[in-house]
């Protein structure tokens, strides 16, 4: 039997659905982040983040089937992302990760998710201010 992916270990589709649902509910309330999103409806952006994260952690590869290579830094070029935006993004993501219960997400998996998000948000910065 193949080893279980991280995606499966933390509860698969339902966990990623919940994670991005809470994340975008926070974005919708965030006065730094909300104005950056070009569309009125955050649903499509939520779906893109969900597909990306599922793929990154070993789940379905729908993101690349629909969007091609992620090239996330390039895709974030239109938005100025400095420390304020990075911190706002991470605040929303920490809230989302905290919303997943301990039975689904044990401490080592939780830490792996947090570490990745912090690294990824840092690498998405494209402005010193
Ligand atoms: C797209 C903001 C970090 C993953 C977007 C969009 C904005 C945005 C405004 C366009 C919304 C849309 O898709 O319609 C930010 C800000 C960040 C950040 C302010 C602060 C650091 C990240 C990180 C990840 C990520 C760390 C991944 C772990 C994505 C993905 C898309 C996206 C997958 C859709 C790309 C596509 O296929 O077009 N982001 N983002 N973002 N972001 Fe971020």
For residue 64, give every residue at least 6 positions away whose Cβ sits within 8 Å of its Cβ, in sequence order, or none: 55, 70
Q: Indicate the SS3 state at residue 60.
A: coil
Instruction: Determine whether the shortest distance from the Cβ of 17 to ligand 1 is under 6 A.
Output: no
Residue-range definition of the domain harbouring residue 60? 6-123
Look at the chain and report how many structural domains it folds into. Answer: 1
pLDDT tens digit sequence for 54-95: 999 999 999 999 999 999 999 999 999 999 999 999 999 999
Instruction: Determine whether the shortest distance from the Cβ of 81 to ligand 1 is under 6 A.
Output: yes
Residue 61 forms part of a structural domain = yes
Residue 36 forms part of a structural domain = yes
For residue 23, give every residue at least 6 positions away whose Cβ sits within 8 Å of its Cβ, in sequence order, or none: 46, 49, 92, 93, 95, 96
> Is 98's pLDDT higher than 90?
yes
**Which pLDDT score is estimated for 1?**
84
pLDDT tens digit sequence for 99-112: 999 999 999 999 99
Kindly give the distance from the C-alpha atom of residue 13 to the centroid of ligand 1, in angstroms, as a whole number: 19
Residue 23 forms part of a structural domain = yes
What CATH number is given to the structural domain containing 110? 1.10.490.10
> Is 3's pLDDT higher than 90?
no
Residue 1 forms part of a structural domain = no
Residue 129 forms part of a structural domain = no
Mutate to test the pocket of ligand 1, among 45, 57, 80 (most ligand atoms within 8 A of CB): 45
Q: pLDDT category, 2, cuts 50, 70, 90? A: confident
Residue 59 forms part of a structural domain = yes
Q: CA angle, 108 as apex, 104 and 113 as ends, to 5°?
A: 75
Atom of ligand 1 nearest to the CA of 124: 21
pLDDT exceeding 70 applies to what percent of the chain? 100
């Amino acid at each position: 039997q193949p080893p279980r992916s991280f995606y499966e270990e933390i509860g698969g589709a339902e966990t990623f659905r919940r994670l991005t649902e809470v994340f975008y509910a926070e974005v919708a309330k965030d006065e730094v982040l909300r104005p950056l999103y070009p569309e009125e409806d955050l649903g499509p952006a939520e779906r893109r983040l969900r597909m990306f994260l599922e793929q990154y952690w070993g789940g379905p590869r729908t993101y690349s089937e629909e969007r091609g290579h992620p090239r996330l830094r390039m895709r974030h070029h239109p938005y100025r992302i400095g420390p304020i935006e990075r911190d706002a993004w991470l605040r929303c993501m920490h809230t989302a990760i905290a919303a997943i219960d301990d039975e689904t997400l044990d401490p080592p998996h939780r830490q792996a998710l947090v570490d990745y998000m912090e690294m990824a948000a840092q690498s998405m910065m494209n402005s010193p201010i």
